[in-house]
């Protein structure tokens, strides 16, 4: 049931490259993104949780191990879900191949928390997605997500740092076409990948119109410690790679 747009994660070569990237010691998911999302999630004891675009369950298993009573991990990629079932299984986790676009018609239960890590930039229609998520939350339930930052998704060209010609020092990041929302075909991990660029106002207005109350917005910058440990992260000061939001069903 992989949706055509995100079927790239079911391509063998792309999948292997992605797993190698995640296994690398200096991967930004583990260094930057996942710790922030996990901290925002807070106490999950006895909560019912859905993880949208759960991949192979990196966050899903952390939530289950922290005492959630039930975690539903959904992802459009069969290969991701298979790996999750093999490597990140837990008696309180159910993994299911399901695109985020189909949650309204396929899921008939409610959640105390819905989480999504670096998956929703593959979804075109945020108004529908956020309304669907709102409807699947209990009152006061949280929706916490990370996505590629709009400054990161803006360019219609291969992602590119601005560099000083004399010595290649990185002095910025190219954000052409920021105001032109929609499909981006980018080259990543040796393949062409389709994702969607949404502007900051589109993202927040879609949340507000769905009924969400904003609780926290984070555009992570590398800490001094991280820049010392992994020097290339200093470039992240030129633009955030991620946008991380905690919102609540009001
Ligand atoms: C960068 S990975 C992140 C995986 C996981 N959330 C994590 O942080 O480890 C993006 C995931 O989003 C999934 N994905 C892409 N488009 C999707 C869609 N329309 N519905 C559900 N999952 C989708 C991909 O299959 C992939 O597993």
pLDDT digits (tens, 9 = 90+) for 137-170: 999 999 999 999 999 999 999 889 999 999 999 9
Mean pLDDT, residues 83-91: 98
What is the band of 2 on the pLDDT scale with cuts at 50, 70, 90? very low
Q: Please tell me whether the overall predicted TM-score, pTM, comes out greater than 0.75 for this model.
A: yes
Q: Quick one: what percent of the chain has pLDDT higher than 90?
A: 94
User: Using CA positions, which residue lies closest to atom 27 of ligand 1?
Assistant: 55
Mean pLDDT, residues 94-105: 98
How close is the Cα of 116 to the center of ligand 1, in Å? 8
Determine whether the shortest distance from the Cβ of 2 to ligand 1 is under 6 A: no
Distance CA(99)–CA(4), nearest Å, equals: 10
Burial, 194: exposed, middle or buried (Cβ in 10 Å; 0-12, 13-18, 19+)? middle
Atom of ligand 1 minimally distant from the CA of 10: 25
Instruction: Give me the domains of the chain, ranges plus CATH numbers.
Output: 3-149+197-249 (3.40.50.150)
Mean pLDDT, residues 83-93: 98
Residue 18, pLDDT above cutoff 80: yes
Q: Which two tokens stand for residue 249?
A: 């069903």
Determine whether the shortest distance from the Cβ of 220 to ligand 1 is under 6 A: no
pLDDT of residue 1: 43
Ligand 1 binding pocket mutation candidate from 76, 99, 188 (most atoms within 8 A of CB): 76
The helix or strand, by DSSP H or E, that contains position 192, with its residue range, turns out to be strand 191-197
Beta carbons within 8 Å of 135's beta carbon, 6+ residues apart:
104
pLDDT of residue 6: 59
């Amino acid at each position: 049931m992989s949706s055509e747009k995100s079927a790239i994660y079911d391509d063998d070569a792309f999948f292997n490259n992605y797993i190698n990237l995640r296994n690398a010691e200096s991967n930004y998911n583990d260094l930057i993104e996942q710790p922030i999302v996990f901290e925002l999630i807070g106490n999950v004891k006895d909560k019912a949780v859905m993880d949208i675009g759960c991949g192979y369950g990196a966050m899903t298993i952390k939530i289950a191990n922290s005492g959630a009573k039930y975690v539903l991990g959904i992802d459009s990629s069969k290969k991701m879900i298979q790996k999750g079932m093999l490597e990140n299984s837990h008696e309180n986790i159910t993994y299911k191949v399901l695109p985020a676009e189909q949650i309204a018609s396929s899921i008939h239960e409610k959640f105390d928390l819905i989480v999504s890590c670096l998956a929703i930039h593959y979804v075109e229609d945020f108004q529908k997605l956020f309304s669907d998520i709102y409807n699947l939350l209990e009152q006061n339930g949280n929706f916490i997500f990370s996505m590629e930052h709009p400054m990161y998704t803006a360019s219609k060209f291969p992602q590119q740092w601005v560099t000083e010609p004399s010595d290649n020092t990185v002095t910025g990041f190219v954000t052409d076409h920021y105001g032109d929302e929609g499909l981006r075909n980018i080259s990543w991990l040796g393949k062409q990948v389709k994702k969607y660029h949404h502007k900051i106002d589109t993202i927040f207005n879609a949340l507000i119109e769905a009924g969400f109350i904003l609780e926290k917005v984070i555009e992570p910058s590398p800490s001094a410690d991280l820049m010392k440990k992994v020097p290339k992260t200093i470039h992240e000061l030129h633009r955030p790679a991620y946008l991380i939001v905690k919102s609540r069903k009001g």
